[in-house]
Amino acid sequence: MIKWDIQHFAEVTSTQDHALAEAHNNVAQGLVILADTQTKGRGRSGNGWTSFDGNLFCSILLRPRIEATQAGQYSFLTAIALNRTLSEMIDDSHTVLNKWPNDVLIDNRKVAGILLEAVLDSRDVEALIIGMGVNIANAPEDKISVNALTPRPETALSFLNAYLAQLGEVLDEYDREGFSGLREEWLDHAFGLSHSIKARLPHETLEGVFEGLETDGAMRLRLANGDIKVIHSAEVFFE
């Protein structure tokens, strides 16, 4: 199992930038940058990520021996570990679901977002940076926080430790058995599977039914004419 090395900062611009710089400095995998606050937190699609007090902001450095085409699978591994962590902390009257590609929802409200960035060496992955923001103590409007649902309040650090234990197990499973069982686990807790969605791509918006995942984690969308469109990256809206 990977040995984690958590480095805790009061304030950084973005834990992603910090971890990326360390990746370029040849730091070994297992480094975790944790910050109490970020002044320039980054979300997906060029969005920002606000630092609400008491929430978790971290970036995890991995160096898997994979090709660039497999990198996307890691956002599913990350979400599975997050789903397992949350499901152990809160009682089963609440539903923890994975939203493609890598959000986690509780009772259909976002509790965490993941930003995966890769450093590539031609066709191979040199490093992966898994950025994760989890609403622990506070949530923006219409989102949800962990501590609103847990019997005992978590801190960012206690949550991170529980999460890293789960992530270590998921990564070991992936190394031993590959992606297909984990992909099934992700689908068992998928938000909006078999429902109509809209996928906004750079030059078009497609409508169809979310049918499942390809082996690399891409979304299978069944269009009205019956064709299957494979979507690797898009902003997705569930109806």
**234 makes contact with ligand BTN (CB under 6 A):** no
**41 makes contact with ligand BTN (CB under 6 A):** yes
Residue nearest to ligand BTN (CB): 113
- Is the Cβ–Cβ distance between 130 and 59 less than 8 Å? yes
**217 makes contact with ligand BTN (CB under 6 A):** no
CA dihedral 60, 64, 68, 74 (to 10 degrees): -50
Stretch of residues binding ligand BTN (CB under 6 A), selected from 77-85, 128-136, 140-148, 170-178: 128-136
Stretch of residues binding ligand BTN (CB under 6 A), selected from 2-10, 13-21, 136-144, 147-155: 13-21
For the residues of 123-156, what is the DSSP string, one character each? TEEEEEEEEEEE-SS---TT---GGGT-SSPPPH
Pair of tokens at residue 90: 């809160």
Of 201 and 224, which has the nearer Cβ to ligand BTN? 201
Counts for the chain of helices (H) and strands (E), in that order:
4, 12
Among 2, 44, 157, 218, binds ligand BTN (CB under 6 A): 44
Stretch of residues binding ligand BTN (CB under 6 A), selected from 40-48, 64-72, 179-187, 221-229: 40-48
Which x/- pattern over 86-105 shows residues binding ligand BTN (rule: CB under 6 A)?
A: -----------------x--
**74 makes contact with ligand BTN (CB under 6 A):** no
**133 makes contact with ligand BTN (CB under 6 A):** yes
Q: Within 13 A of 8's CA, how many CA atoms are on the CB side?
A: 7
Greatest CA separation for the chain: 53
Distance CA 186, CA 97 (A): 9
Query: Which residues contact ligand BTN (rule: CB under 6 A)?
Result: 14-16, 38, 41-44, 47, 49, 57-59, 103, 113-115, 131-133
